[in-house]
Amino acid sequence: NLQEPFLMILFGGAGDLARRKLFPALYSLHRNGLIHDRFAVVGLGRSVREQEEYRSIVRESVEKYSRWDTETEQDWSSFLNRFRYVSLDVADASGYKDLLGEVEGLEQKWHLPQNRLFYLAISPRLFGDVAIQLKEVGLTQTRGWRRLVIEKPFGHDYPSAKELNDQITGSFLEEEIYRIDHYLGKEMVQNITVIRFANSLFEAMWNNRYISHVQITAGETVGVGERAAYYDHAGALRDMVQNHILQMVTMVAMEPPSRLKPEAIHDEKVKVLRSLRRWKEEDVATHMVRGQYTAGLLDGKPAVAYREEEGVPEDSTNETFVAGKWYIDNFRWSGVPFYIRTGKRLDQKVTEVVIQFKGVPQNLYFNKNNDLAPNLLVIRINPDEGLSFQMNAKKPGGDPEVVPIAMEFCNNCDVESPEAYESLLRDALEGDRTFFTHWDEVSLAWKFIDPIRRVWDQDKDSLCFYEAGSSGPVEADALLAKDGFHWHSPR
Ligand code: BG6
């Protein structure tokens, strides 16, 4: 049994992430007996709040966002009693002494063995200061374990990420740091390697002899929302590609690990990132596309242009869409393009990976276009979860035509999948870093991204436009058309 009693010290304790994701995740884990029954949470925030007020914030967010029905008043109070709010200005050293007192008090009250989970759901510019203060005041000296969970963005380029990392590693060891990439908490992202390594059919064919190319799509219908201040500087390249898209690429491309241990898996992922061809400045224009949405129609309703969104400068050249053609220069993948795309205000919310296999050596059949459809393996990640395998077969009903047919599996039709944050929080509490990003993945990802960013920052004309509600800029279609392919649009 990996469950141990713990204290969670939650910075940003009444913030958006805590409300929408962390309280509901904790509640779900607690309700289903997936974490130890002896735990407590100290929520930290700048505002002054009464304990009762804090507990009602927790309760409201669970009621609003949890996938479980509410329980009896008794159950509620047994859950809410564990939460304590402490007001702290994270930049002010003096508050940390009080925090230490609160932490020790709670550990005594709940008989906790000083297992401390520090969760920083706050702006990354504060990570360094917090890590230093935690160490100075002695909060990181525990008899049990100590772990640090942090949220992206980890810097905005390689130098800033390194600086941030140096600050944190002054107080925590790398193996105590859990960097969240919530895509790694998604059921079907975790399933990519299972599908590959548990099926001889796919593993035998998972290479450049049989695979024509790979497509990875992470499309969203939402726009920038209320996050313009962050997003207009980050852009889709830093917001989605540096982390989520690259993580999915590593899961598709990695070699089988020697064992199912975090370190072994991680080593293989790092090798992929090392083999990923880095685009030189002169290659960027032919291999990468960036776009921004203009006004359009989404689900029949008018949607404003990115430049008209609240908080976005009207001459912003920030991208809300990225497509790319990448290569992994190793024996397995040599010559196989990986096409990726992600964007906001697209026609569909869909994340999926498509593996397109090469054709048969000779077509014996004559069908409509005198062309057999390719075999496709579609891994649906979000919102539908499942697999689809497209093959060719004789058209049912005596017709001599050969037609594509699909075998379908739905992963979340009969069983509800846990939220990504539930899986990740549970892993962090059990000390399993498999689905967290390690420092060398972060650093290699930035080294791949930085040259692209530099070119785009210098060349504002690199920006294309697409209508809100469309499938993205035509330039992204042209990227595949040049190679004789097209994006497989989701259902
Ligand atoms: C986040 C990005 O990491 O992922 C957001 O910052 C994006 O801009 C979100 O909307 C998408 O996540 P999901 O799980 O809805 O695909």
Q: Which of 156, 213, 244, 266 is catalytic?
A: 244
Average pLDDT over residues 237-264: 96
Pocket test for ligand 1, best of 220, 241, 349, 382 (most atoms within 8 A of CB): 220
Q: When comparing pLDDT for 280 and 72, which is higher?
A: 280
Q: Would you say 344 is a known binding-site residue?
A: yes
Q: Say whether 349 counts as a known binding-site residue.
A: yes
Q: Any catalytic annotation for residue 244?
A: yes
Q: Does ligand 1 have an atom closer than 6 angstroms to the CB of 309?
A: no
Ligand 1, atom 9: closest residue by C-alpha: 240
SS3 of the chain: CCCCCEEEEEECCCCHHHHHHHHHHHHHHHHCCCCCCCEEEEEEECCCCCHHHHHHHHHHHHHHHCCCCCCCHHHHHHHHCCEEEEECCCCCCCHHHHHHHHHHHHHHHCCCCCCEEEEECCCHHHHHHHHHHHHHCCCCCCCCCEEEEECCCCCCCHHHHHHHHHHHHCCCCHHHEEECCHHHHCHHHHHHHHHHHCCHHHHHHCCCCCEEEEEEEEECCCCCCCCHHHHHHHHHHHHHHHHHHHHHHHHHHCCCCCCCCHHHHHHHHHHHHHHECCCCHHHHHHHEEEEEEECEEECCEEECCHHHCCCCCCCCCCCCEEEEEECECCCCCCCCCEEEEEECCECCCEEEEEEEECCCCCCCCCCCCCCCCCCEEEEEEECCCEEEEEEEEECCCCCCCEEEEEEEEECCCCCCCCCHHHHHHHHHHHCCCCCCECHHHHHHHHHHHHHHHHHHHHCHHHEEEEECCECCCHHHHHHHHCCCCCCCCCC
Q: Average pLDDT in the 75-94 region?
A: 93
Could you tell me the pTM of the whole model? 0.95
pLDDT score of 216 more than 80: yes
For the cut 90, the answer to whether the pLDDT of residue 270 exceeds it is yes
ipTM greater than 0.95: yes
pLDDT at 336: 98
CA of 313 to the centre of ligand 1 (A): 22
Residue 1 scores a pLDDT above 70: no
pLDDT digits (tens, 9 = 90+) for 344-387: 999 999 999 999 999 998 888 866 667 889 999 999 999 999 99
23-54 tens-digit pLDDT = 999 999 999 999 999 999 999 999 999 999 99
Ligand 1 contact, 351 CB (< 6 A): yes
Determine the pLDDT at residue 491. Answer: 60
